[in-house]
Amino acid sequence: MTKYNPYKRAGLGLLIAGSLISLPAYFLFQLTWLTALGICMLILSFILIALGKAIPRLPPEVCSLLLETGIDNISTLIEELGIKSKAIYLPSSLTSKYPRAFIPLHSNGSHPEITKTLPLRLISRYGSSPEDIGILISTIGSTAASMLESKPGGTPDELESALTSLLTGRLGVADGTKVRRYNNHIKIEINNPHLENGTSWSNQCLGGPLAAVVASIAAEAWNKPMTISQEEQIDGKYSVELEVGK
């Protein structure tokens, strides 16, 4: 494991170098500045070894492989069904266990009102009319929401804190977030995102990976369905606008 973990390798290197420098410098040569430099190395080595233990065992390439396979499968499904309507991100209270995305199969321009918990099936019915059906799928946001330590509260500040903690601290895919709410819209700005958005059919339906994460977490925070109304990337800032459902 140490072989593939740069933090642990650097930490062990600094631990050995720090010990070799600080001990002779203090006891033999009695040089304060050199001893201090050795202590610096030792402190950094402890920090690096501690961080090395927190790095996921799965290499990023494998994670990317799994992600792309999953997205490809969903894209194929959506394209084959010819769905053009936008996905509605539902909180866990309207699905079960995790927040999921619901794509209505028939849409007349308005978003369907989902008030009761949907059954955990790929094809789910949300109303009494024969056309009130859609597909209920898990997205990256569903899994990302399960990574949160606790359910965020329904205020812009709490959502911002949860998103920054997840995207910056846990996933390392952005430098920070900013959340603003006005009327029934929520605008989220993501600074310096490292995930690219595709231009496939499924992306127009489900939104980009970051938008999916943001929409799922926001749905969970407000406990209301969310729809991605707009997403754009300008000058290293990725902004997502969500429409809060009823």
Partner 1 sequence: MKIYNRYVITVSLFLLLTTVILIATGQNSIDLYFTVYVIEALAITELYVHINNKARRGLTYVSTILFGGFAIALCFQIIKILT
Q: Which residues bind partner 1 (CB under 8 A)?
A: 7, 26, 32-33, 35-37, 39-40, 43-44, 46-51, 53-55, 149, 164-165, 168-170, 172, 175, 194
First to last CA, the chain: 50
- Closer residue to partner 1 in complex, CB, 16/147: 147
Q: Least distance to partner 1 from the beta carbon of 127, Å?
A: 41
Residue closer to partner 1, measured from CB, 143 or 165 = 165
- Count how many residues are written for the chain: 246
6, exposed or middle or buried, with CB in 10 Å at 0-12, 13-18, 19+?
exposed
| Structure-block tokens of residue 207 | 């939104």
CB of 48 to partner 1, least distance (A): 7
Nearest distance from residue 202's CB to partner 1, in Å? 28
Question: Which residue bears the tokens 């990256």?
Answer: 140
In the complex, least distance from residue 64 CB atom to partner 1, rounded to whole angstroms? 14
Question: Containing H/E element for 181?
Answer: strand 176-182
* Tokens standing for residue 138: 């898990």
Rank residues 18 and 245 by Cβ distance to partner 1 and give the closer one.
18
Cβ distance to partner 1 smaller for residue 107 or 143: 143
Instruction: Tell me which residue has tokens 């900013």.
Output: 178
Tell me whether residue 145 or residue 228 sits nearer to partner 1 (CB atom).
145
Shortest distance, position 149 Cβ to partner 1, whole Å? 7
Q: What is the largest CA-CA distance in the chain?
A: 87
